[in-house]
Amino acid sequence: MDKYFLKKSLYFFGLLLFIFAVGCQNDKAEDITNAKPTVEKKLNVVATISMITDIVNNIGGDKLDVTGIIGEGVDPHLYKPTARDAKRLKEADIIFYNGLNLEVRITGTVLDKMKDKTKAVAVTDGMDRSRLREASEFLGGYDPHVWHDVSLWMKASERVRDTLAHSDPKNARYYHANAKNYLATLQTLHDDMHKLAAQIPAKRRVLVTTHDAFGYLGRAYDFEVRGLMGINTEDEVSITDVRELAKFIIERKISTIFVETSAAPQGIHAVQAAVKAKGFNVKIGGNLFADAMGTPGMSEGTYIGMMRYNIDTIVNSLQTELAYQE
């Protein structure tokens, strides 16, 4: 009787232990199933002009949260940061800006007043100053429109790459791999622009635009460039400016000039009227992207697409001019 009771007690005790063990395993499995996945915190990056935003998106990919401040068709020379912009800049982990006093109203009102100035990175810092165009009439002494020379913009891309890799070392290989691919694409763009420009005879490679934003393009791809206004669009256009440019157009027998998407067209239209008043006709060859890219989602809404659009518009317009003259 005692032996039977003991065996039965051991049997039930063992059964209870088994049920308890299975229950614990189920609880653990349920805890694992219900556990929230660990979300990797992304760097919060803010860029000023759209061309820089495009670099950061290409190199940073899905490892960053990227915000661009100055968008489509907006002139960075004149842009005033909003309260929302100031908040974004202060909350950013990294700020990429052009420098050379392009975004002077952002640097002067927000960046210069930050306690931690190390997080603000000018993509033009580190560029060989001998490759920059001197511009004594512009604050900073250099022309800031460096993106119109693709080989210089490659240097800006390298600065973004190195900054991201330093700030986020665990993803450094990812940034370097993306940058390698992007830089190869930019090199192809640079080579293609040389080939396209060479289709126009050297003496006919004259680019007349609203303001002197295309100096780097002219130097890199062998165009003579004249702007109605100087480098800074804050400059006032005078009657003398209009007359002098009209005289240049007539003397050089230039029949195509260009307007810009981020600058008012009235000045160029005034030049066109002044030329006509002297018995000579000049047509508008198209709109060029000078200080801002095109619509997001469109080809011109990327740096590469914008540059291809510009060179295609210039070359096609000048080729049409040559065919008409022949």
Name the superfamily (CATH) of residues 43-195.
Nitrogenase molybdenum iron protein domain (3.40.50.1980)
Spatial separation of the C-alpha atoms in residues 198 and 151, rounded to whole Å: 17
The per-residue pLDDT for 286 is: 94
Which of these, 94, 90, 89, 65, lies nearest to 166 by C-alpha position? 94
Nearest CA to 132 among 111, 105, 155, 157?
A: 155
Within the chain, residue ranges assigned H as helices are 2-34, 50-60, 83-91, 104-109, 150-167, 172-197, 215-221, 239-252, 266-277, 303-325
Classify domain 201-325 at the CATH topology level.
Answer: Rossmann fold (3.40.50)
Look at residue 211 in the predicted model and tell me its pLDDT. Answer: 86
Q: For residue 104, what are its two tokens?
A: 């002077």
Please state the pTM of the whole predicted model.
0.85
The residues, any chain, with a CB within 8 Å of residue 115's CB and separated by 6 or more, are: none
**What is the pLDDT, as a whole number, of residue 38?**
56
List the pLDDT tens digit at each of the 326 positions of the chain.
455 444 445 444 444 445 445 454 554 444 444 545 556 789 999 999 999 999 999 999 999 999 999 998 899 988 999 999 999 999 999 999 999 999 989 988 888 888 787 899 999 998 999 999 998 766 658 999 999 999 999 999 999 999 999 999 999 999 999 999 999 999 999 999 999 999 999 999 999 999 889 999 999 999 999 999 877 766 678 899 999 999 999 999 999 999 998 888 899 999 999 999 999 999 999 999 999 999 999 999 999 999 999 999 999 999 976 655 55
Contacts 24+ apart (CB under 8 A), 196-201: 196/311, 196/312, 196/315, 197/221, 197/222, 197/223, 197/311, 197/315, 198/222, 199/315, 199/319, 200/315, 200/318, 200/319, 200/322, 201/322
- The whole-number pLDDT of residue 20 equals 47
**CATH 3.40.50.1980 boundaries in the chain:** 43-195, 201-325
Say what the pLDDT of residue 137 is. Answer: 67
The predicted pLDDT at position 266 comes to: 92
